[in-house]
């Protein structure tokens, strides 16, 4: 018997709908929903243990997976089973996690899992846009202590009109793509890329998405009400001791304020704060520490945070002594690594990134193989954050989700400035060597310089900056180029990349409710000033892209070849192209233009000699002589009835020069006129109608000998050659002879 199903429908306003359903699947989970749009279906389940974990944080796992069966496909590779998550799945996990995590109570430490699966795929629906909606809807059906319902939506702009959850085809025409996560009254998360838009346009897109999110939240609440809203579970809450908190505040606040005001370095500041913390602990007796020592650390951190925030709000000063809009000292360098195709160092304060650029062919493109999307990236960026960059020793366990997310943000910030006609596949690798502040934005700056150093003709250079916000409700301060500590203690941190013309990418995490759009736009404008300052430092180091690639870097040349010649270029079993690559020390890749069906030949090689040799081979294949023109040829083979000659301008193109076309005089031996290796001119006559072969002539461009008399043309009449017509089938008498023949047996009898 099918259980009772509860369902709510969300109208997207353009004929599309999203439905949220519960009651049919995964009923043992603490909350489960199926979210559907078109044929796309997501199953989300949430479970949280009833026992608190022995940790001082929320062990929340958000997992998003796309099942290949959902698209009627098999997983690629040897093992036909989904394995580690793809980068696309990891990015979706991060988008959902960043909105959910702040809404759990700070003292809720139970192991919690949010699992979202793509169960059915629709080519017209991008499933990750509904993942946040699915997660929040499932939590609303549970008994978790969760502050309020949220949702996420993607917004695009096509022909000047905003679109919610656009299709992939619509995104191709859109000048922005943003994911917004929000509650009914507050925007909490923004991430996206843009085509150099203004701060006001970005704010308008956020507003538009927020209105759609409010509709999705209302549907969740209706579904929970119909299903039966559960009582919020009880859990072991954190112990509160207001007297102890005040005592620690009085002991530490002024000292922390004074340390923060000194404007010292990260190491000096950390040591000073640690000394104050030890002094606070030393002020308690052993009995007191035994009784509530577990609370001291948390209350001290709170007092330190309050002191630092107040310093900024009241005096406009920051931990390292800067003003709110001041950027840390910057130094840059290009061409640092001698063997790479492009390299740069970008150092801002105590944050440093070393970027390298590698140029390749379409064969080096990054393959994307997900159930919801297949394709290639001809520009991609990888970001590495080793433990030593923060002075730590940590286990190395492969690429982290954080590295995937930060690298993707930097990639989105830069990729719009890579020209469409860039012939290369471009890979940037950013090695973060120091970190105290935004290393992803340092990656953008280092990446820009490395690209220009490599000779990639960027449309415009890109810079990035990380911003912060501190607010107590009445006062607020926007912080440019935030430190790592300011990221932790602030109410909003947002990263913005852009050119001199506008924003290319952003990532925001907003921690306070009801942030006004006025403050948001002001913060974005201050970010623009910081971006332009940093951009000036970049262009002081390298003003424009190098005119050409480095001597040791490969040059890329592309040629279009008609489809009928591709087979000859490749050769049987790839023999011709393989030998050509070996002889010329080049890499040759052939792709088909899906529109014209022409072959696009990519030739990658260091130096011009090998590339020119390949181009000559292609020109040879494409060579078509014109009737009436004279061409220089070389004898490559001697025959009894003529000489095989090769066009000098098209090696490999051969034609027979018949003995009768060598000279006006009668030629008995070919070697009497020409020999192997001789070079001379011939005239091209096109296809001989009698032999149906191409005809060239040497004698046609030679003067006729004095007194030369041409032989009379051959009479082609059959009658003049002895009545050939009488030898036709009807007159041969074969039928009569056949009738006279006797069977073999009769002959034997005779």
Q: Centre a 10 Å sphere on the Cβ of residue 82 and count the other Cβ atoms it contains.
A: 15
Q: Is 363 helix (H, G, I), strand (E, B) or coil?
A: helix
Would you call 393 exposed, middle or buried from its count of C-beta atoms within 10 A (0-12, 13-18, 19+)? exposed
Interior angle at CA 499, CA 493 and CA 501, nearest 5: 115
563's enclosing H/E stretch is: helix 563-570
With contact defined as beta carbons under 8 Å apart, do 12 and 165 qualify? yes
Tokens of 35: 């979210």
Q: Are strands 476-480 and 17-22 parallel, antiparallel or unpaired?
A: unpaired
Could you give the dihedral angle defined by the CA atoms of residues 139, 144, 149 and 155, in that order, rounded to the nearest 10 degrees? -50
Residue among 655, 667, 652 nearest 696 (CA): 655
Q: Which residues contact 617 (CB under 8 A, 6 or more apart)?
A: 569, 580, 651, 652
Q: Is 162 helix (H, G, I), strand (E, B) or coil?
A: strand
With contact defined as beta carbons under 8 Å apart, do 445 and 534 qualify? yes
Q: Are strands 425-434 and 379-384 parallel, antiparallel or unpaired?
A: parallel
Rounded CA-CA distance 433/439 in Å is 9
The dihedral built from the CA positions of residue 349, 350, 351 and 356, taken in this order, carries a sign that is positive
Q: Which residue positions form the known binding site for Mg(2+)?
A: 487, 493
With contact defined as beta carbons under 8 Å apart, do 448 and 545 qualify? no
Could you give the dihedral angle defined by the CA atoms of residues 298, 303, 305 and 306, in that order, rounded to the nearest 10 degrees? 140
With contact defined as beta carbons under 8 Å apart, do 148 and 184 qualify? yes
The three-state DSSP-derived secondary structure of 617-638 is: HHHHHHCCCCCCCEEEEEEEEE
The three-state DSSP-derived secondary structure of 498-554 is: ECCCCEEEEEEEECCCCCCHHHHHHHHHHHHHHHHHHHHHHHHHCCCCCCCCCCCCC
Q: Which residue positions form the known binding site?
A: 487, 493
Backbone dihedral region for residue 599 (phi beyond 0: left; psi -120 to 50: alpha; all else: beta):
beta
Place of tokens 């306070």: 512
Rounded CA-CA distance 248/61 in Å is 34
Would you call 605 exposed, middle or buried from its count of C-beta atoms within 10 A (0-12, 13-18, 19+)? buried
β-bridge mates for residue 342, sequence order: 357
Q: Is 178 helix (H, G, I), strand (E, B) or coil?
A: strand
Could you say which DSSP state residue 656 is in? E
Q: Centre a 10 Å sphere on the Cβ of residue 363 and count the other Cβ atoms it contains.
A: 12
Residue 637, phi then psi, degrees to nearest 5 = -160, 140
Integer-rounded Cα Rg, in Å, for the chain is: 38
List, as one string, the DSSP characters of 440-470: HHHHHHHHHHHHHHHT---SS--EEEEEEEE
């Amino acid at each position: 018997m099918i259980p009772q199903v509860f369902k709510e429908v969300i109208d997207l306003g353009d004929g599309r709908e999203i439905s949220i359903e519960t009651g049919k699947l995964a009923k043992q989970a603490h909350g489960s929903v199926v979210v559907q749009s078109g044929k796309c279906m997501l199953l989300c389940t949430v479970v949280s243990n009833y026992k608190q974990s022995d940790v001082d944080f929320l062990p929340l796992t958000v997992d998003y997976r796309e099942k290949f069966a959902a698209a009627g496909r098999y997983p690629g590779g040897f093992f036909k089973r989904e394995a580690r998550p793809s980068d696309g799945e990891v990015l979706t996990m991060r988008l959902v996690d960043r909105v959910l995590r702040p809404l759990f109570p700070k003292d809720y430490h139970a192991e919690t899992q949010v699992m979202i699966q793509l169960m059915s795929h629709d080519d017209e629906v991008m499933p990750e846009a509904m993942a946040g909606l699915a997660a929040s809807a499932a939590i609303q059906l549970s008994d978790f202590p969760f502050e309020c319902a949220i949702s996420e939506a993607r917004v695009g702009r096509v022909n000047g009109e905003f679109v919610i959850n656009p299709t992939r085809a619509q995104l191709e025409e859109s000048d922005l793509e943003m994911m917004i996560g929000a509650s009914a009254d507050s925007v909490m998360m923004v991430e996206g890329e843009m085509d150099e838009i203004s701060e006001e346009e970005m704010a308008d897109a956020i507003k538009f998405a927020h209105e759609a999110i409010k509709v999705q939240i209302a549907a969740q609440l209706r579904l929970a009400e119909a299903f039966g809203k559960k009582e919020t579970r009880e859990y072991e809450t954190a112990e509160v001791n207001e007297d102890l908190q005040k005592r620690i505040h009085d002991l530490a606040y002024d000292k922390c304020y004074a340390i923060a005001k000194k404007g010292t370095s990260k190491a000096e500041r950390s040591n000073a704060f640690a000394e104050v913390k030890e002094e606070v602990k030393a002020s308690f007796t052993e009995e007191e520490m035994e009784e509530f020592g577990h609370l001291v650390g948390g209350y001290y951190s709170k007092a330190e945070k309050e002191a630092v925030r107040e310093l900024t709000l009241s005096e406009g000063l920051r931990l390292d002594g800067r003003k709110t809009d001041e950027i840390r000292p910057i130094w840059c360098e290009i061409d640092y690594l001698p063997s790479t195709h492009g390299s740069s160092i970008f150092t801002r304060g105590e944050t440093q990134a070393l970027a390298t650029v590698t140029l390749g062919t379409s064969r080096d493109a990054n393959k994307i193989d997900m159930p919801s999307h297949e394709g290639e990236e001809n520009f991609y960026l990888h970001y590495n954050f080793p433990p030593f960059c923060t002075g730590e020793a940590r286990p190395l366990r492969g690429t982290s989700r954080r590295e995937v997310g930060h690298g993707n943000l930097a990639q989105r910030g830069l990729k719009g400035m890579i020209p469409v006609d860039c012939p290369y596949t471009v890979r940037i690798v950013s090695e973060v060597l120091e970190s105290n502040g935004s290393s992803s934005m340092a990656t953008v700056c280092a990446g820009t310089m490395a690209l220009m150093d490599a000779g990639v003709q960027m449309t415009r250079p890109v810079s990035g900056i990380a911003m912060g916000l501190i607010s107590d409700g009445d006062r607020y301060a926007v912080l440019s180029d935030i430190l790592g500590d300011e990221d932790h203690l602030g109410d909003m941190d947002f990263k913005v990349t852009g050119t001199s013309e506008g924003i290319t990418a952003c990532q925001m995490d907003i921690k306070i409710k009801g942030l006004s759009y006025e403050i948001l736009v002001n913060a974005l404008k201050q970010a623009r000033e910081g971006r332009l300052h940093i951009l000036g430092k970049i262009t002081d180091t390298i003003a424009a892209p190098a005119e050409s690639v480095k001597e040791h870097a490969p040059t890329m040349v592309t040629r279009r070849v008609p489809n009928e010649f591709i087979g000859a270029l490749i050769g049987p079993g790839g023999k011709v192209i393989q030998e050509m690559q070996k002889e010329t020390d080049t890499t040759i890749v052939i792709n088909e233009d899906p529109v014209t069906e022409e072959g696009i030949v990519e030739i990658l090689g260091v130096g011009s000699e090998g590339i020119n040799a390949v181009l000559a081979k292609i020109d040879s294949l494409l060579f078509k002589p014109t009737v009436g023109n004279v061409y220089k040829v070389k004898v490559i083979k001697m025959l009894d009835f003529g000489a095989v000659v090769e066009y000098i301008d098209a090696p490999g193109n051969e034609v027979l020069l018949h003995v009768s076309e060598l000279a006006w005089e009668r030629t008995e031996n070919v070697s009497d006129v020409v020999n192997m290796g001789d070079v001379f001119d011939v005239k091209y006559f096109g296809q001989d109608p009698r032999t149906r072969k191409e005809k060239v002539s040497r004698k046609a461009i030679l003067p006729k000998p004095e007194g030369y008399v041409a032989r009379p043309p051959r009479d082609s009449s059959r009658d003049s050659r002895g009545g050939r017509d009488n030898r036709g089938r009807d007159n041969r008498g074969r039928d009569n002879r056949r009738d006279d023949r006797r069977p073999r047996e009769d002959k034997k009898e005779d």
